[in-house]
């Protein structure tokens, strides 16, 4: 199925000079299906929206009627937006629409063009009263007694815009819009999931999933563990974690893992780490870079407590999640 072109209807909050701070979409549709409808707007099809966008006179009437129905405030603006192909992001409307597509599970991480997203998104103060331009903060403070700032960032919390079915998130501030959470995902307080990253099945997340990283079903990321991303620091290798894997508490990962792999607690495995490959009798077969083992199944990575060397052994254990922790109805 071709995803594009896509047309969406949303509402943007504006700053004191009329610049857009965010976009909350109510309808997202393409030629094949309705991808989102919050039920605020009924019976809106791609074909009818396309005709409206081509005829400015009818579009104006439609926008006025819809603005009244949505009870837009003076600092809000109705958005009718089209993306005709998966090209680089040009503006805030493009950016939010593509982030929505990820969090709505329409597209998986690394399968949509997000080039240009940082320059398209403004830095915003996310407050208990909604998005505010940092330059307007003092004005808001003077007019609102119960005013607090939760964060200052380009990306909002996912749950302020999208709540996927069948997930549990202990601290919503740690999951950005644009995260992809499959049904059965449980994110505990120390877990973090960036945009264009996420889970491909029921998983336990108590560590960090950096941008571009995907985690396979039935895998467990232990408390405080970390995965290397590609946004900064020079790393250009997309990290992935296969199915039935375990990253121990406070471990770190800089290579892709296959299925049924374990990285022991406290071990940070980078691509350049020197690894002693062992057989089932604990004999050293060879010494390789960790990157040479990328994507292989059934591996156990440990640090020898006597020599300090990193060792890789055949993994004979299976990871089983507690089903009651992932039945998130």
Tell me if 181 sits within 8 A of 164, measured CB to CB.
yes
The CATH architecture one would assign to domain 158-320 is 3 Solenoid (2.160)
Could you tell me if 220 and 319 are in contact, meaning their C-beta atoms sit under 8 angstroms apart? yes
pLDDT tens digits for range 1-56: 589 999 999 999 999 999 999 999 999 999 998 898 887 777 678 888 888 888 76
User: How confident is the prediction for the chain on average, in pLDDT?
Assistant: 93
Q: Check residue 57 and give its pLDDT.
A: 67
**DSSP string across 181-206:** --TT-EE-TT-EE-TTEEESSS-EE-
CATH architecture of 123-156: 2-Layer Sandwich (3.30)
Instruction: Judge contact between 315 and 262, C-beta under 8 A.
Output: yes
Give residue-wise pLDDT tens across range 75-96. 999 999 999 999 999 999 999 9
Q: Matching CATH topology for 6-118 and 158-320?
A: no
> What average pLDDT does this structure show over 277-291?
95
Which of the residues 58, 183, 190, 206 is marked catalytic?
A: 206
The DSSP letter of residue 76 is E
pLDDT band at 296 (very low <50, low <70, confident <90, very high): very high
Q: Give pLDDT tens digits for 310-324.
A: 999 999 887 777 776
274 φ, ψ (degrees, to nearest 5)? -80, 125
Q: Which residues contact 19 (CB under 8 A, 6 or more apart)?
A: 122, 133
Answer yes or no: CATH 3.40.50.1820 is held by domain 6-118.
Answer: no
- The sign one gets for the Cα dihedral 13, 177, 10, 54 is positive
Residue 30, beta-bridge partner list = 6
Question: Any catalytic annotation for residue 34?
Answer: no
- Enter the DSSP assignment of 302: E
Q: Reduce the DSSP state of residue 263 to 3 states and report it.
A: strand
Q: Name the β-bridge partners of 63.
A: none
Res. 207 pLDDT band, cuts 50 70 90: very high
- Helix (H, G, I), strand (E, B), or coil: what is residue 65? helix
Closest alpha carbon to 167 in 143, 189, 184: 184
Domain limits of the chain?
6-118, 123-156, 158-320
Structure tokens at 130: 């909604």
State residue 236's pLDDT score: 75
The helix/strand/coil state of 141 is helix
Mean pLDDT of the region 300-305: 97
Answer yes or no: is pLDDT of 302 > 60.
Answer: yes
């Amino acid at each position: 199925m071709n995803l594009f072109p896509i047309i969406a209807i949303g509402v943007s909050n504006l700053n004191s000079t009329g610049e857009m701070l965010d976009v909350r979409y109510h309808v997202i549709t393409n030629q094949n299906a309705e991808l989102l409808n919050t039920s605020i707007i009924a019976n809106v099809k791609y074909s009818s929206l396309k005709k409206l966008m081509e005829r400015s006179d009818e579009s104006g009437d439609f926008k006025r009627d819809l603005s009244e129905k949505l009870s837009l405030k003076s600092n809000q603006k109705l958005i009718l937006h089209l993306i005709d192909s998966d090209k680089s992001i040009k503006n805030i409307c493009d950016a939010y629409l593509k982030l929505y597509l990820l969090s709505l599970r329409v597209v998986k991480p690394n399968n949509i063009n997000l080039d240009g997203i940082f320059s398209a998104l403004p830095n915003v103060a996310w407050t208990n009263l909604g998005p505010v331009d940092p330059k307007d903060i003092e004005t808001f403070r003077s007019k609102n007694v119960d005013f607090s700032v939760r964060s200052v960032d380009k990306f909002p919390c996912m749950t302020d815009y999208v709540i996927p079915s069948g997930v549990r998130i202990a601290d919503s501030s740690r999951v950005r819009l644009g995260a992809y959470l499959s049904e059965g995902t449980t994110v505990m307080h120390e877990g973090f999931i960036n945009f264009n990253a996420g889970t491909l099945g029921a998983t336990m997340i108590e560590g960090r999933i950096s941008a571009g990283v995907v985690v396979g079903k039935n895998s467990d990321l232990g408390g405080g563990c970390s995965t290397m991303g590609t946004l900064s620091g020079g790393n250009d290798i997309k990290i992935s974690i296969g199915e039935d894997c375990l990253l121990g508490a406070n471990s770190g990962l800089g290579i892709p893992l296959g299925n049924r792999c374990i990285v022991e607690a406290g071990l940070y495995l980078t691509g350049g780490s020197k690894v002693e490959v062992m057989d089932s009798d604990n004999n050293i077969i060879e010494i390789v870079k960790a990157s040479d083992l990328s994507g292989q199944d059934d591996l156990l990575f440990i640090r020898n407590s006597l020599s300090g060397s990193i060792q890789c052994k055949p993994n004979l254990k299976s990871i089983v999640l507690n089903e009651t922790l992932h039945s998130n109805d």
